[in-house]
Amino acid sequence: MACIFCRIAAGEIPANVVARGDGVLAFRDVNPQAPTHVLVIPTQHVPSSGHLPVSERAAVFGAVMQLAVEVAAQLGLAEPGYRLVVNTGVDGGQSVDHLHVHLLGGRRMHWPPG
């Protein structure tokens, strides 16, 4: 059984898609932690940031981060600013084991993060 983000990428379960790119997809988080909360994923299954073969890292991270920055601009966040987060593993707070970048914006973020 494919993971939940693979199923979203395949269109098997609905999501509020905001943008698509070559091998990447951006959709609204179902449980938003900020006025704007978008997840950007590679459409291929990658369990976490540590699981990509070295030869694919630059291409996959590049594509995901590029779409995240484009969506941020499309949603009017370029000037006020925003935060991109990649939770990884247990200590990182990762709950879905398919690589994703959180795009958070629309309010002032705190530092250090919780």
Site membership for Zn ion, residue 7 (CB under 5 A): no
User: Which residue among 98, 99, 101, 103 contacts Zn ion (CB under 5 A)?
Assistant: 98
Name the binder of 45 from Zn ion, ligand 5GP, none, CB < 5-8 A by kind: Zn ion
Which helix H or strand E contains 36, and what residues bound it? strand 36-42
Selected range binding Zn ion among 14-22, 40-48, 71-79, 105-113, rule: CB under 5 A: 40-48
Here's the x/- map for Zn ion, 58-87, by CB under 5 A: it reads as: ------------------------------
Structure token digits, residue 105: 């914006």
Rounded to an integer, what distance in angstroms lies between the CA atom of residue 37 and that of residue 6?
19
Each residue of 19-40: b (16+ CB within 10 Å) or e?
bebeebbbbebeeeebebbbbb
- Is 51 marked active-site? no
Q: Taking the CA atoms of 83, 63, 7 and 98 in sequence, report the sign of the dihedral they define.
A: negative
Name the binder of 87 from Zn ion, ligand 5GP, none, CB < 5-8 A by kind: ligand 5GP
Selected range binding Zn ion among 6-14, 22-30, 53-61, 86-94, rule: CB under 5 A: 6-14
User: Which residue among 9, 24, 27, 36 contacts ligand 5GP (CB under 6 A)?
Assistant: 27
Instruction: Pick the closest to residue 64 from 109, 13, 9, 15 (CA basis).
Output: 9
Residues labelled as active-site residues: 100
